[in-house]
Amino acid sequence: MGFWWSSLRARELAVSTAKMQCQRQKVQFLDQTVALASLKPIRLKSGSVGWRRLYRFEFTDDGAWRDTAFITVEGNRVTLVRFPFTLDAEGARVYTH
């Protein structure tokens, strides 16, 4: 029951983070959901054992193409949000690999 509950909370955190980051990047969050891409046990900063969950989600900047971004959640904290590009002042893509 504990694993299921923590998974649900982590997913909700990833969804809300994806929405917020898409607004910040001025792109549209597609499908209003995230998908679990990876799950690994880790040692958290507190010293306890927890899970690193990598979620992927899709977004669009122009409505024609779907792009994928990623959110890493460790325990109950978002540790990384990674978009493949950002938009400059003119709206052109600047890739961040």
pLDDT digits (tens, 9 = 90+) for 31-40: 999 999 999 9
pLDDT (average), residues 11-29: 95
> Which residue would you say has higher pLDDT here, 81 or 86?
81
Classify residue 31 as left (phi > 0), alpha (psi -120 to 50) or beta: left
| All residues at 6 or more sequence positions from 94 whose CB lies less than 8 Å from its CB, including other chains | 85, 86, 87, 88
pLDDT of residue 93: 76
pLDDT score recorded for residue 89 = 79
More confident residue, 96 or 83: 83
User: Averaged over 39-59, what is the pLDDT?
Assistant: 94
pTM over 0.85: yes
Name which residue leads in pLDDT, 85 or 54. Answer: 54
